[in-house]
């Protein structure tokens, strides 16, 4: 069900409590990747350009909830957001629910922006505490969820807060609306051929997504370390490649299910391998079918790259979640890059391409191809759970369009 968005709410003179996802990587107090902050800009501007007062809340990192911690402060995010908006962003206190934060909210003028300190400095956030949520709810006339990356979590700001604001507008931000449109509604009736690309380390992380997508997909391309569990289940020699031996039966079941569903499951036919899990140490060789003892697969090989590319170029809808290898290391980056380039080319020819969050999003950014995709999700765990077909309570609490 489509959700009402902030664009449909009169925000002039209103206090708009905007749950964003500013959980960005930090090196000290330096932000190393600000994509999540940039992704929130359209919603923030939509509020302030129409005379609303934007009160931003977010988590950052994994503090224990024992109070203020310098290392997980959102102050660098406030400074970066100020630069991106080219206007001041208030950062009133080291506590999101103390009297200083409340006073800053009370004194806001139309069109102003403040960012409150890390929600997870309070135990109540992770516990979903209604009392903590009620204090946040006092700040607002309107609640906006624009934090797709946290939508699968039952945190206070995601569930108890909109519950506390029943009777007031509870709507989606523009980023969340886009995520829902692509990851949920587009997958309900994808243009054919529909191709799913799955990678990453563990079969267990993607098993539910495979089960949900098999009846809808025309082809599933499997790469990354998870492919070796499938190959081992088929009796292939995988050397010292990472496998989940307790999932071999599940892998066989998925292979059989794909055949019954008439979904082509493509596994790597050759592999770029090394004797060490290292960027520079170890001997590197390419093996077909069987990997020699002492070698581990760290990327798909050239034949697999060509085969995957051919499938992708014929697709009309593509969903990609998980890299084909250790793409951060140059010797094992070619497979992931070739898949990214093929998806970009298919998109240019009219395909709809949806890139899941986390490593896949980092990969297309690294290779300079993010803007060649139809949609790059900002959510890691949230995007894979949506591919599994799960419903999120945080979204269900928002007003329907």
Contacts of 150 (CB under 8 A, 6+ apart): 19, 21, 23, 59, 157, 158, 379, 382, 394
Contacts of 288 (CB under 8 A, 6+ apart): 269, 270, 271, 301, 303
358 is catalytic: yes
Question: SS3 sequence, 81-136?
Answer: HHHHHCCCCECCCCCCCCHHHHHHHHCCCCCCEEECCCHHHEHHHHHCCHHHHHHH
199 is catalytic: no
Give me the catalytic one of 15, 35, 127, 202: 202
Give me the catalytic one of 61, 111, 282, 381: 381
Q: Give me 53's structure tokens.
A: 């007062």
Q: Are 248 and 301 in contact (CB under 8 A)?
A: no
Question: SS3 sequence, 273-326?
Answer: EECCCCCCCCCEEEEECCECCCCEEEEECHHHHHHHHHHHHCCCEEEEECCCCC
Looking at the DSSP assignment, which residues form a beta bridge with residue 335? Answer: none
Give me the catalytic one of 19, 36, 178, 216: 36
Pairing state between β 15-19 and 26-27 = unpaired
Closest alpha carbon to 314 in 273, 274, 343, 271: 343
CA-to-CA separations, 311 to 157, 281, 308, 319, 346, in angstroms, rounded: 42, 34, 5, 13, 10
- Report d(CA 253, CA 247) in Å as an integer: 10
Give me the catalytic one of 128, 325, 358, 380: 358
DSSP label at 358?
A: T
Residues that are catalytic:
36, 202, 358, 381
């Amino acid at each position: 069900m489509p959700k009402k968005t902030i664009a449909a709410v009169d925000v002039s003179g209103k206090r708009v409590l905007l749950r964003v996802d500013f959980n960005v990587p930090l090196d000290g107090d330096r932000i190393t990747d600000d994509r999540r902050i940039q992704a929130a800009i359209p919603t923030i501007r939509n509020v302030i350009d129409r005379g609303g007062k934007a009160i931003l809340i977010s988590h950052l990192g994994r503090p224990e909830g024992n109070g203020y911690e310098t290392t997980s402060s959102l102050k660098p995010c406030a400074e970066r957001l100020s630069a991106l908006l080219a206007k001041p962003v208030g950062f009133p206190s080291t506590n999101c629910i103390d009297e200083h934060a409340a006073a800053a909210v009370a004194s806001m003028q139309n069109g102003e922006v403040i960012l409150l300190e890390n929600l997870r400095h309070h135990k109540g956030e992770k516990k979903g505490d209604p009392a903590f949520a009620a204090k946040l709810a006092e700040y607002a006339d309107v609640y906006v969820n624009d934090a797709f990356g946290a939508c699968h979590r039952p945190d206070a700001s995601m569930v108890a807060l909109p519950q506390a604001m029943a009777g007031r507008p509870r709507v989606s931000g523009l980023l969340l609306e886009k995520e829902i449109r692509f990851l949920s509604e587009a997958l309900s009736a994808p243009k054919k051929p529909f191709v799913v690309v799955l990678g990453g380390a563990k079969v267990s992380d993607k098993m539910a997504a495979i089960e949900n997508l098999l009846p809808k997909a025309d082809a599933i391309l499997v790469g990354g370390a998870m492919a070796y569990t499938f190959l081992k289940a088929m009796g292939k020699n995988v050397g010292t490649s990472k496998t989940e031996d307790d999932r071999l039966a599940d892998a066989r079941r998925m292979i059989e299910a794909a055949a019954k569903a008439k979904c082509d499951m493509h596994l790597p036919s050759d592999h770029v391998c090394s004797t060490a899990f290292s960027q520079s140490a170890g001997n590197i060789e390419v093996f077909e079918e069987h990997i020699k003892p002492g070698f581990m697969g760290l990327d798909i090989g050239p034949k697999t790259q060509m085969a995957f590319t051919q499938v992708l170029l014929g697709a009309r809808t593509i969903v990609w979640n998980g890299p084909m290898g250790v793409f951060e290391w140059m010797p094992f980056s070619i497979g992931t890059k070739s898949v990214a380039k093929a998806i970009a080319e298919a998109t240019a020819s009219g395909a709809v391409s949806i890139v899941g969050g986390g490593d896949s999003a980092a990969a297309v950014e690294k290779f300079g191809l993010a803007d060649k995709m139809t949609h790059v999700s900002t959510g890691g765990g949230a995007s894979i759970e949506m591919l599994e077909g799960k419903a999120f309570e945080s979204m269900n609490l928002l007003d329907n369009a």
